[in-house]
């Protein structure tokens, strides 16, 4: 009984840690993966490096992004940070 009472604060700290840090991060990662899998030709995006452009072509794991001056660059699909509306 004493060991259970001694472990209770540690267990409580782990539960709080899980709900405040781990779970929200997992939800955010899942949303980002869903957004990356839903990308389509013509979508305006921002890459992790801050490049703004429009998707010109999409392959299985890569996409071609056209920037303002017409230059086309090839990126991994996972390098897209956000999709602009």
68 token code pair: 């303002």
Q: Where are the domains of the chain?
A: 1-83
- The pLDDT score that the predictor gives to residue 34 is 95
The answer, yes or no, to whether residue 28 has pLDDT greater than 90, is yes
DSSP state of 68: T
Does 1-83 carry CATH code 3.10.20.30? no
Q: How confident is the model over 30-78, as pLDDT tens digits?
A: 999 999 999 999 999 999 999 999 999 999 899 999 999 999 999 999 9
The answer, yes or no, to whether residue 81 has pLDDT greater than 90, is yes
45 by DSSP, 3-state: which?
Answer: strand
Nearest-angstrom CA–CA distance, 7 and 4: 5
For the whole model, what pTM was predicted? Answer: 0.74
Residues 46 and 52: beta-carbon distance below 8 Å: yes
Q: Write phi, then psi, for 24 (nearest 5 degrees).
A: -60, -35
Instruction: Count CB-CB contacts under 10 A for residue 11.
Output: 10
Q: How confident is the model at residue 27 (pLDDT cuts 50, 70, 90)?
A: very high
Helix-strand-coil split of the chain, %, nearest 5: 45, 30, 25
């Amino acid at each position: 009984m004493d060991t259970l009472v001694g472990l209770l604060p540690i267990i409580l700290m782990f539960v709080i840690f899980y709900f405040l840090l781990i779970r929200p991060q997992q939800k955010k990662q899942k949303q980002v993966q869903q957004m990356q899998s839903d990308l389509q030709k013509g979508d305006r995006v921002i890459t992790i490096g801050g490049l703004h452009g429009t998707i010109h072509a999409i392959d299985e794991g890569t996409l071609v992004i056209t920037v303002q001056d017409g230059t086309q660059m090839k990126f991994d699909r996972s390098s897209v940070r956000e999709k602009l509306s």
